[in-house]
Amino acid sequence: MSGGAESDLSRLFTLFWHPVATLEELRAAAPQPLAVTLLGRQLAVADLGPAGLAAVADRCLHRSARLSVGWVDEGTIRCGYHGWRWDAGGRCVEIPSMPDGPIPPKACLPAYDVEVAYGMVWVRLDGSAGTTIPACPAWDDAAMKVVAGAPYTWPVGAPRRVENFVDLAHFAWVHDGSLGRRDQPVPPIPSIRRRAGEMRFDYDPPDMQADDVALYGYSAYRVPMPLTVDIGFTLDPEPDGTPVRRHLWMTASPVDDATTRSFWVVARTDRHDEDDTPHLAFQDLVLAEDEPLVTNQDPPELHLDPAFEISVRTDRVSLEYRRWLRELVAAHAEGGPEAVATVLAAPRSIDAPTAPLPT
Ligand code: FES
Ligand SMILES: [Fe+2]
């Protein structure tokens, strides 16, 4: 299913936090753990109450029953088959058929870092690069009303999902009339900065009469590497001069190399009393425009080999995104997680090109 580059990307992504469920989904599953898949690994995620959250391999080490069909019991996950109990650290703490023990020392499941942020449950498979959960600026902005969209799963690799978000040339074609104009197909080529583990650039869209619930206006993009996008929009001010700002935030959770579950929120400083439905409906319209294209890229996985697809200078953002991914993959292969942290933190400025880019 995957070539070398995709496997390299999957290995890289294990070092980062990814959302695996909304908090509501976790609560709805209780008292059973929730079964999720992250980077091809099946996990059981559960709220153990005072014992905290748990994210463990969804396979009991006794006879391989899924722990996600067990239940939470006394701050542990109890397997439904023979009742063995497992704590948040993955250790077996009880074997009902052997009340006097011993518990085999090998009875310890893989257990992963798990946290809640922005109403979502986040998991990190490998903490050795010291990564943090990506910022969601609207969440901490008191002027913003934040509304969560419904997560959606598409048959495409997560880096391609991110590329679609930052692809300035597709607006004119895929989103003619909603986010772009087909009669203005030439996008600007932005200067790009790497700051604090984020790729940042600005985009000024063509003049267009956009829907009043559209996220359309001067756009400040932040891409917390590797799989999150935050877009801060500045819209025309209210008649009384009040500034209007909105946000679209999305993180592409890599279910496996060719499947992505996107978690997203929209936020606005204006119209707090208004029904949220039209704001979400506009995003659904945009997603319906993107889906037939993004889910029909063959192969669904992003290839990092620059010769695999043909790029032109208006693919600037995508090229820089891929360049940073390549550098992170190379750092991981050569220097391990510490080298990844170094490449992630290094600032860099890439000015808008004056000549065609080599590809
Ligand atoms: S399979 Fe889990 S307790 Fe036996
Ligand atoms: Fe799009």
pTM as predicted: 0.95
The closest ligand to the CA of 164 turns out to be 2
Tell the residue nearest (CA) to atom 4 of ligand 1. Answer: 82
- CB-CB contact of 303 with 5 (8 Å): yes
Q: Is 63 in the pocket of ligand 1 (CB under 6 A)?
A: yes
Question: How many other CB atoms are found less than 10 A from the CB of residue 97?
Answer: 8
Domain 137-350 has CATH 3.30.70.270: no
Average confidence score pLDDT of the chain: 94
CA separation, residue 261 to residues 2, 70, 97 (Å): 18, 25, 40
Q: Is 96 in the pocket of ligand 1 (CB under 6 A)?
A: no
pLDDT of 96 above 60? yes
CA of 44 to the centre of ligand 1 (A): 14
Query: Among candidates 263, 359, 358, 354, which has minimal Cα distance to 306?
Result: 359
Q: Burial level of 107, CB count in 10 A (0-12/13-18/19+)?
A: middle
CA–CA distance, 196 with 327 (Å, rounded to integer): 16
CA 67 to ligand 1: nearest atom = 2
Give me 285's structure tokens: 């319209």
Q: Of all residues in the chain, what percent carry a pLDDT higher than 70?
A: 96
CA–CA distance, 223 with 135 (Å, rounded to integer): 10
CA of 305 to the centre of ligand 2 (A): 24
Spell out the residues 6+ positions from residue 215 whose beta carbon is closer than 8 angstroms to its own: 231, 233, 246, 248, 266, 282, 283
**Domain boundaries along the sequence of the chain:** 17-124, 137-350
| CB-based burial, 224-256: b 16+ in 10 Å, e otherwise | bbbbbbbbbbebeeeeeeeeebbbbbbbbbbbb
Give me 60's structure tokens: 């009991």
Q: Is 62 in the pocket of ligand 1 (CB under 6 A)?
A: yes
The CATH class given to the 17-124 domain equals mainly beta
Task: Give the tens place of pLDDT for each residue, 145-171.
Answer: 999 999 999 999 999 999 999 999 999
- CB-CB contact of 154 with 138 (8 Å): no
The stretch 246-270 carries a mean pLDDT of: 97
Task: Give the tens place of pLDDT for each residue, 341-358.
Answer: 999 999 999 876 655 555
The closest ligand to the CA of 62 turns out to be 1
